[in-house]
Structure 1
Amino acid sequence: MDKTADSNPFAQVPIEITVSVGRARPLVKDLLTLSQDAVLPLDRRVEDAVELYIGDRLIARGELQELEGDRAGQLAVRLTEVADLRSGIS
């Protein structure tokens, strides 16, 4: 980490990142009939990139991965594309 980030008073403030794996657009009538164990198809495939957002701003894309070792089973994201936070992601 560079010294500018270390000296920034906000550097230690946690921020929430949302990882979007896809979207669903069911009809309201179909949504009202959902029950436990129902399957809601998304608009993406398992191998498609996920998107990372801060609020509604896209900050990165990546691939879902499962951690190993003492964190086995925990999901993580390997970043494949990161936005220049000043100008956005291309």
Structure 2
Amino acid sequence: MVGEFYKTVSPALIARFKEREENVKSDIFHAYITLLKSTKPAALTTVDPDAMDQEEGPIAMLQSQVPSIIKALHRQLKEKSIKTR
């Protein structure tokens, strides 16, 4: 389920980081933080080198979205609004 959120919801939230209304922007950041908190690595029960290669897992999807997240957040840090920063 979290993997599906990274395919659909995460790109939409990242695109909305540039929202003009401060309260809406704050809600978007909180929603993305909640998504990040729900993405926890599975407990290491057994270490299988072949099982470590999960291309479509939530962590892999998050890692692929890091450049767009950094780019969007960099724009926000340039703004004058203290609430956003």
| TM-score band w.r.t. shorter chain | under 0.3
Bigger strand fraction: 1
Structure scoring higher RCO (CA < 8 A, sep ≥ 6) equals 2
What TM-score results when the alignment is normalised by the length of structure 2?
Answer: 0.26
Larger Rg: 1
Bigger helix fraction: 2
What TM-score results when the alignment is normalised by the length of structure 1?
Answer: 0.25
